[in-house]
């Protein structure tokens, strides 16, 4: 196995409720993993969040677990304050001729130019200052009937690697249970699984993308959220599922 290590700084403005933004952390590990296989597009990322990150400096270590003719697998760890905080497995693979099936269709919604801006409370989610939002439909904490949120989003300064930016965008909307709640509670992500399409490899996260998140099920203090991000032209960029704790106690 080939091992690489590096140091990253995370500005305090990228904090969420319980620590550094999970999508950003996963994107950082993905970016470092991609350095093990230069030029290969990312196909999937699985990340487990073991501890919150509350320091501005983190260490990232990756190992090339397998390299093959069409796909490669890279293991990653992110450490902060002497603890392992993120464990990940990233899959990278070449493009080839193969079957093509329709991706999830982007919802028919107004364009971002037709919608009003919305600002998430920076005191609650500081990372929101790095993004612009144009919500579609119900807003968070309005006590709606369906645990789903939809919004156009774009980043002011996205990560250099497009797939890392896609990982961030999949995690920027509030937990979907906020669509049916009227008061916020911590709902941290414990595990995140991301799958990328061909559109993820060259998209520009400074342009508007449509994000949707919905709770697939919730019970016993846990929930699973599914999310998608589409380019403005309708191409699906990536999908994700998150296993989350619901800390209401």
Whether residue 181 contacts residue 237, with contact meaning beta carbons closer than 8 Å, is answered with no
Percent of the chain with pLDDT over 70: 99
Q: How confident is the model at residue 1 (pLDDT cuts 50, 70, 90)?
A: low
pTM for this one?
A: 0.94
What would the pLDDT profile of 162-190 be if each residue is shown by its tens digit? 999 999 999 999 999 999 999 989 999 99
* Number of neighbouring beta carbons within 10 Å of residue 216: 12
Secondary structure element (H or E) that encloses residue 26, with its range: helix 22-34
What would the pLDDT profile of 108-149 be if each residue is shown by its tens digit? 999 999 998 888 777 778 999 999 999 999 999 999 999 999
Give all domains of the chain, ordered by start, each with its CATH number: 2-93+118-245 (2.40.160.210)
């Amino acid at each position: 196995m080939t091992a690489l290590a590096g140091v990253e700084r995370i500005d305090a403005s990228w904090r969420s409720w319980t620590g550094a933004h999970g999508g950003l952390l996963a994107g950082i590990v993905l970016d470092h993993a991609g350095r093990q296989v230069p030029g290969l597009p990312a196909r999937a990322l699985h990340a487990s969040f073991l501890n919150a990150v509350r320091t501005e400096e983190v260490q990232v270590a990756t190992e090339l677990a397998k390299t093959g003719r069409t796909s490669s697998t890279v293991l990653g760890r992110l450490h902060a304050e002497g603890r392992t905080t993120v464990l990940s497995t990233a899959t990278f693979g070449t493009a080839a001729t193969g079957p093509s099936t329709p991706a999830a269709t982007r919802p028919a919604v107004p364009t971002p130019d037709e919608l009003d801006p919305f600002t998430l409370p920076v005191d609650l989610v500081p990372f929101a200052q790095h993004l612009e939002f144009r919500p579609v439909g119900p807003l968070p904490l309005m006590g709606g009937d369906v645990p789903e949120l939809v919004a156009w989003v774009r980043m002011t300064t996205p990560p250099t690697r497009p797939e890392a930016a896609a990982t961030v965008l999949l995690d920027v909307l509030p937990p979907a249970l906020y669509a049916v709640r009227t008061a916020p509670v911590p709902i941290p992500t414990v595990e995140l699984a991301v799958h990328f399409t061909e559109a993820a490899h060259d998209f520009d996260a400074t342009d508007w993308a449509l994000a949707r998140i919905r709770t697939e099920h919730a019970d016993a203090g846990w929930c699973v959220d599914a999310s998608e991000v589409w380019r403005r032209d309708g191409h699906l960029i990536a999908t994700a599922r998150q296993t989350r704790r619901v800390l209401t106690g």
